[in-house]
Every structure is written in structure tokens, then in C-alpha cells.
Amino acid sequence: MDPNNAVIQLCVRGMREEAEGRPADARAAFLRAWNAATDDYERCVAAHYLARHQPTPEETLRWNQQCLDLADAVGDERVGGFYASLHTNMGRAHQALGHVEQARRHYRLAAAHLADAPDDGYGEWVRYGIAEGLRATGGAAPRPAEETLRDLLNALCARADLLSLCLLLPAYVGDLGGQEDLARLDTAMRRLHATRRLPDEEQAALTRAIDALQGAHPSA
């Protein structure tokens, strides 16, 4: 994005006001950005932020749909990295209205576009949102080790074992249900297992989780 673009500058201002806990000022900045936009690209960017400041789920969905439609109208490389986030937002908006099938469809579309998202912390955050949505709408089946692994993560949280959590959580929270993510989760679990840093009971639980997951792995 061009930092000298007036619409982008207004959106940056709005994000700063969001972070400062000033939602009314943020919404005003995003609305000014929308009114100042001169083409579909600028309107797409402004609509993305305006969707976050709507009074009802219906209006949130309407603005997210408008944002997606505008991205389609732009149709070039400037918006290619937007789609994972846009479909995630559409999924959340439909989910808030109880539209489970529509939400699931958008979460799956978001997953299909994830490779085009920025390869940075923001991209990881989008991945986590997609994974959460897929789980909530039945778009990704639970892993065989799901219950055991969740109990282990709860135990690590209770002990504030941050290092172990750092190893496991990115793969667990970002699991979209595919084989690549299965391998990623398996690798994270095995790395933690190899450290032998866990108490005996937790180490045994991790072993059980690895064994359960191994049965779902194509190389098993």
C-alpha cells in the first residue's frame, strides 16, 4: 500500500485510534476514507475497516460483502493478498448471523487463498482466524489426538510453560485440517517430545497424542 495515499493515511489514523481505545474516532476516520476514495481499490480498503465498526451483524455482513465485491472489481495484484482476510471476515459475519453453511464456505475459500496472504505475523493471524472458523463450522474434522492435545495445552498453560507452548501453539492453533498442517503439527509435537522437558505425566500424554496422530499420517 502507498503510505502517501490520502485514503491509506486515514485508515492508518483510524487503526491508531482503534489501538488507543477510541472507536468512535476510528469509525469517523474510516468513514472519511470511504468518502475520500476515488476508485474501487481505495473503496475496498476503506470498506474493510468500516466493516469493523458497524452496529449490527447485518450491516457488518453488508460492508464485508461490499469490500469483497470491490476487490473482485479491482481484480489485479494489488488485492491478491487481501482475499484470505476478506473471506475470513465474510465467514465471521455469516457465522454471527447463524449462517453456518455460508460461513464454512467462506472459511474454506479463505484457506484456499492463504498462500497469497503476507508471509508475516499478519498472515499467521489470518491463518489462526481461518482455522478457528473451520473448527467452529465443521469445516475441519477434529484430529485423532484433539482431546489429549487440548488437555496437554491446558496443563502447559496452568504451569505457564511458555517455551513448550511456543513450540506447540502455532501448529495447533493454525491447523486448517489438511495434510501439510498435519505434518506441521506432528513435527511440533515431536520436537517438544525430544526436549524431554515435560513432567512425566505430560510427557506420557504427548506420547499418546503423537501415536494417535501418527495413525492419521499418510506416511504411517
Residues 90 and 183 in one domain: no
CATH label of the domain that carries residue 65: 1.25.40.10
Looking at the structure, tell me whether residues 157 and 133 fall in a common domain.
no
Q: Is 66's pLDDT higher than 90?
A: yes
Same domain, 123 and 173: no
Report the C-alpha gap between 214 and 17 in whole angstroms.
47
CB half-sphere exposure, 72, CA atoms < 13 A:
8
Residue 157 reports pLDDT greater than 90 = yes
Domain check: are 126 and 159 in the same one?
A: no
Range of the domain at 177: 146-214
Do 44 and 114 lie in a common domain?
yes
Q: What percent of the chain has pLDDT over 70?
A: 97
- Domain end among 96, 113, 137: 137
| 103, 137, 171 - which closes a domain | 137
Clarify whether residues 30 and 60 are in a common domain: yes
Cα 67–Cα 79–Cα 120 angle in degrees, nearest 5: 110
Strands (E) across 114-158 are located at: none
What number of other Cβ atoms are within 10 A of residue 154's Cβ?
10
Q: Tens digit of pLDDT for each residue in 6-23? A: 999 999 999 999 999 999
Do residues 128 and 61 both lie within one domain?
yes
Written as nine digits, the cell of 148 is: 489429549
- DSSP string for residues in 95-121: HHTT-HHHHHHHHHHHHHTGGGS-SSH
The burial of 134, by beta-carbon neighbours within 10 Å (0-12 exposed, 13-18 middle, 19 or more buried), is given as buried
Q: Are 44 and 74 in contact (CB under 8 A)?
A: yes
Mean per-residue pLDDT, 96-122? 95
pLDDT bin (cut points 50, 70, 90) of residue 206 is: very high
| CA proximity to 128, closest of 74, 92, 81 | 92
Q: Are residues 115 and 56 in the same domain?
A: yes
Measure the CA–CA gap between 163 and 161, rounded to whole angstroms: 6
- Specify the number of domains making up the chain: 2
pTM metric for this prediction: 0.90
Residues 6 or more apart whose Cβ sits within 8 Å of residue 1: 8, 45
- Would residue 220 count as lying in a domain? no
Percent of the chain whose pLDDT exceeds 90: 89
Q: Which three cell numbers stand for residue 120?
A: 508475516
Summarize pLDDT for 27-44 with one digit per residue, the tens: 999 999 999 999 999 999
Burial call 100-122: b when 16+ CB within 10 Å, e when fewer: eebbbbbbbbbbebbeebeeeee
Question: C-alpha distances in angstroms, 60 versus 51, 96, 108?
Answer: 5, 10, 20
Flag whether pLDDT at 215 surpasses 80. Answer: no
Q: Who's near 178: CB < 8 A, 6+ residues apart?
A: 111
